[in-house]
Amino acid sequence: MYLFIRTCFLLLLLHTLAAGAAGRTERKNVLFIMADDLRTSLGCYDDSVVKSPNIDQLASKSHVFLNAYAQQAVCAPSRISMLTSRRPDTTRLYDFNSYWRVHSGNYTTLPQYFKSKGYFTMSVGKVFHPGIASNHTDDYPYSWSIPAYHPASYRFEKEKMCRGEDGKLHINLLCAVNVTEQPGGTLPDLESTDEAVRLLKSRANSHDPFFLAVGFHKPHIPFRIPQEYLSLYPLDKMTLAPDPDVPKLLPPVAYNPWMDVRKREDVQKLNISFPYGPIPKDFQLRIRQHYYAAVSYVDSQVGRLLSALDELQLTNSTVVVFTSDHGWSLGEHGEWAKYSNFDVTTRVPLIFFVPGVTTNCNQWKTSAFPFIDVFSQSDHSFSNDKVVRNMVELVDVFPTVSHLAGLSAPQHCPEVSFQKELCTEGHNRASTFRFREGRRDEEGVAFSQYPRPADTPQVNVSDVHAGELYMLEDDPSQDNNTYNSIFSDSDHTVVMKKMASLPPTVRLQMRMKLQLCYLTAGMKTSGGKA
């Protein structure tokens, strides 16, 4: 297991053997939007390249968490962790191969909780990870009032749909297409948006509140997107990652060779050396171009959803949540994948719109979220003082959105909680909606983890193979591993003895936090804190 803990000043990784803001007088609807593999490449997160006017418009009227982290940078484990508010070590899901209700515990999900409170719950697209990880039903009927919707065109995602330079169809990484030439003349996220709008219309006049979750498939690979979005990002304007090389002191166990990218036909033609590459620079630029184009494509679908909410006069009664399951490396550290614990893969957007709380509904002249056509108005100036810079986690989403919608937030789980159906291993962040953020929380931490190859994922925190320590004040890109230059073997031995003396009921993330404190006791950063 590859363990990772970060504070506002530094970040520690160890590699072990792996085999209330609003008054709750009225229940609000919830529109829960999740992208797939979307890092914080959005205008509202200070990305100067991307064109994301609709999401930026949402963020301008919302509460924006600037430093939100996924608990694992893999789809199924992250989604199950967020939707149950349990960490991967509780769900026992580190891959795609088990159903948590059978494998670990009958934990209540976010939509299931809303359903139990009288909400009509609906799922469109990729919300739970499909397959055995959600019992081949997207956890229906536990989580949803009706069977989950999946776009019919998604079945072509892994087939030869990408026309190459030879005029033939291939299974490529880069797959910008003419939508009219695709089966059915559509793409998965276009279909999902259509269905989500249809469901919103069906609930517009209902007396019962709804919880609608919409999961977009992009910017997940392959980049099978409408080809016109590439025009937003001319290749001569694209740049390489600022730190494209594998860090010299990166432990081999911390590197992932991005096999899912390598198996694509257009990448295979490049004959890239294994495991470190690198990919030719001209192809790197094209990958980055396609990723950003995929983000703008998703942004347009978000804009369609939000404008429909306006047109149906549902905005004033609906909490909107926008997030992602995890990020994706675009060449940073020589990586082209998720599958790591660097910030580019674990840090995600997290945006909450709460009518009457994050914005004054009376200030809207016509509508809150008019659709912005990215091709005619690609830039939207993000302006918002309702931002939170302190670290939060995706396990915080369940209790926070419950509170904001008018329900009671689940209580925090006891130390031993494997059999408890309803509780949270996160924190209710609704209190941060009351006031502007003050000082930095120097004790705040975020915990992410990633399993290393084995027949079955295992956790053995006593068998440490390597360590990483990044001083984020001076090294925000996490390129300089200082672990071995700061800590001696004797320091490590002493800490391991202290850790071994802890009671077995102490959670893994608490062990990591204590380990970080032990190892860095007395250290000073440029900010003057250990």
Task: Please report which confidence band the pLDDT of residue 525 belongs to, taking 50, 70 and 90 as the band edges.
Answer: very low
H or E element, residue 467: strand 464-471
Give pLDDT, residue 270: 97
Please tell me the least confidently modeled range out of 19-28, 284-293, 298-307. 19-28
pLDDT tens per residue across span 125-136: 999 999 999 999
Mean pLDDT of 251-255: 90
What's the pLDDT tens digit per position in 395-408? 999 999 999 999 99
- The beta strand positions in 318-417, using DSSP E, are 318-324, 347-353, 387-388, 392-393
228-247 pLDDT, tens digit per residue, is 999 999 999 999 999 999 98
Q: What confidence score (pLDDT) does residue 94 get?
A: 92
- Does residue 255 have a pLDDT over 50? yes
Tell me what the pLDDT averaged over the chain comes to. 90
| pLDDT, average across residues 340-350 | 97
Q: How many other CB atoms are there within 10 angstroms of residue 111's CB atom?
A: 28
Identity of residue 293: A
Any idea which of 212-226, 233-247, 454-468 has the lowest mean pLDDT? 454-468
Nearest to 420 by CA among 108, 87, 141, 94: 108
Question: Residue 261 has what DSSP assignment?
Answer: H
User: Which three-class secondary structure state does DSSP give residue 402?
Assistant: helix
Is residue 16 within 8 Å of 465, Cβ to Cβ?
yes
Q: Which residue has the higher pLDDT, 505 or 134?
A: 134
C-beta separation of 221 from 291 below 8 A: no
Please say whether the dihedral angle defined by the alpha carbons of residues 338, 192, 66 and 404, taken in this order, is positive or negative: negative
**Average pLDDT over every residue of 249-270:** 94
- pLDDT-derived band at 464 (thresholds 50, 70, 90) equals confident
44 an active-site residue?
no
- pLDDT at position 388, please? 92
Once rounded to an integer, what is the mean pLDDT over residues 148-157?
97
In this predicted structure, the answer to whether residue 36 has a pLDDT above a threshold of 50 is yes
Determine whether 75 is an active site residue.
yes
Structure tokens at 452: 């290393």
**Burial label, 271 (beta-carbon count in 10 A; 0-12, 13-18, 19+):** exposed
CB-CB contact of 82 with 68 (8 Å): no
Q: Which residue has the higher pLDDT, 475 or 380?
A: 475
pLDDT score at 23:
40
At 363, the pLDDT band (50, 70, 90 cuts) reads low
Percent of the chain with pLDDT over 70: 91
Whole-number pLDDT of residue 383: 78
| Residue 100 in this model has a pLDDT that exceeds 70 | yes
First to last CA, the chain: 26
Position 415 scores a pLDDT of 77
Residue 121's alpha-carbon distances to 12, 26, 212, 294, in angstroms, are: 39, 18, 6, 28
Q: Which of 75, 162, 175, 423 is catalytic?
A: 75
In the predicted structure, residue 79 carries a pLDDT above the cut 50: yes
Lowest-confidence range among 46-50, 56-60, 523-527? 523-527
Listed in sequence order, the residues at least 6 apart from 313 whose beta carbon sits closer than 8 Å to its beta carbon are: 204
d(CA 38, CA 291): 9
- Residue closest to 77 by CA, chosen among 88, 90, 89: 88
Higher-confidence residue of 441 and 170: namely 170
Q: pLDDT at position 32, please?
A: 99
pLDDT at 518 over 90: no
Over residues 262-281, mean pLDDT: 96
Structure confidence at residue 522 (pLDDT): 62
Cα–Cα distance measured from residue 367 to residue 364, given in angstroms and rounded to the nearest whole number:
6
Q: What percent of the chain has pLDDT over 90?
A: 72
Amino acid at 241: A
At residue 18, the pLDDT reads 42
Rounded Cα–Cα distance for residues 186 and 178 (Å)? 9
Q: Is the pLDDT of residue 342 over 60?
A: yes
- Say if residue 528's pLDDT is above 50: no
Q: Which of 105-119, 167-181, 349-363, 451-465 has the lowest mean pLDDT?
A: 451-465
Average pLDDT over residues 32-40: 98
372/419: higher pLDDT: 372
Per-residue pLDDT for 349 more than 90? yes
Asked whether the predicted pLDDT for residue 81 surpasses 90, the reply is: yes
Residues 359-383, mean pLDDT to the nearest whole number: 81
Query: Which candidate in 15, 63, 129, 403 is catalytic?
Result: 129
